[in-house]
Structure formats: structure tokens, C-alpha cells
């Protein structure tokens, strides 16, 4: 997710916020079957309710490689990113 979330950043994740409607651009924490617990941004939610994710770095794996995830795999919504050298 570099450059938005540089290495050694802290993120504030609110688990209960996942019950609210997600939308494109939201950054969420998910339990991915292949990549484990990971943070990605929502790129789309299809008609079946599947959530498609992507990273922000050009070298991230593609949306198709990430595959869709279901709402039950969402662990929370990122509401604050504290990057190294950042100010409150």
C-alpha cells in the first residue's frame, strides 16, 4: 500500500465500522485466504456483494490476483493512518 501506508506505519482499525456500507476507496483490514490479515483499499463491490481489493503501489498484485472477498472476511475499517514522521 506504499506510498499511502509506508513501512512501520500504525493504523487505527475500527472493527464495528465494517457493518456500515463500504464504498470504493475505503481502506479495510481483511482476512485473505492467501495473504492472511492484510490491509487493502476497496476498488469495487459487485452485484453479488463481493468486495474487490487493490493495493496502491504499482507493483502490487492485480485486482484479479487478489480475487473477491466476502463481507464476512472484513475485519475492520481503517480510520487513521499514522505514518512515520507524520503529525497528528
Partner 1 sequence: MFHKLVSNLDKTFKFSTVSAHCDIPCKIYDPSAAQIAVLTMIRMVDLLEELNQKSSLTANEQAQFSRLVAQKEEHGLKAKAEICVIWGDYIKQPQLDQFPELHTLVHSIMLTASKAKQEIDKTVTLDLLDKVNRFADIFWQSKGVATFTATCPYPPAQTVVYPKLGA
Separation of alpha carbons 31 and 71, rounded Å: 10
Q: Which is nearer to partner 1, 18 or 29 (CB)?
A: 29
- Taking CB under 8 A as the rule, does residue 15 contact partner 1? no
Q: Which is nearer to partner 1, 57 or 71 (CB)?
A: 57
Separation of alpha carbons 8 and 32, rounded Å: 21
Span of 15-23, 43-51, 52-60 interacting with partner 1 by CB under 8 A: 52-60
Q: Which of 2, 15, 44, 70 binds partner 1 (CB under 8 A)?
A: 2
The DSSP string of 41-71 is EEEEE-TTS-EEEE-SSTTSPPHHHH-EE-G
Separation of alpha carbons 80 and 11, rounded Å: 6
- Taking CB under 8 A as the rule, does residue 29 contact partner 1? yes
Q: Which of 16, 47, 49, 85 binds partner 1 (CB under 8 A)?
A: 85
β-strands 36-45, 27-32: how paired? Answer: antiparallel
Sites of contact with partner 1 (CB under 8 A):
1-2, 5, 9-11, 13, 29, 32, 34-40, 55, 57-61, 66, 82-88
Amino acid at each position: 500500500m506504499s506510498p499511502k501506508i509506508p513501512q512501520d506505519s500504525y493504523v487505527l482499525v475500527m472493527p464495528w465500522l465494517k457493518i456500515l456500507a463500504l464504498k470504493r476507496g475505503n481502506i479495510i483490514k481483511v482476512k485473505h485466504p492467501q495473504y492472511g490479515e492484510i490491509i487493502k483499499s476497496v476498488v469495487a463491490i459487485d452485484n453479488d456483494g463481493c468486495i474487490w481489493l487493490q493495493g496502491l503501489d504499482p507493483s502490487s498484485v492485480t485486482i484479479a490476483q487478489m480475487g473477491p472477498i466476502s463481507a464476512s472476511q472484513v475485519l475492520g475499517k481503517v480510520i487513521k493512518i499514522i505514518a512515520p514522521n507524520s503529525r497528528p
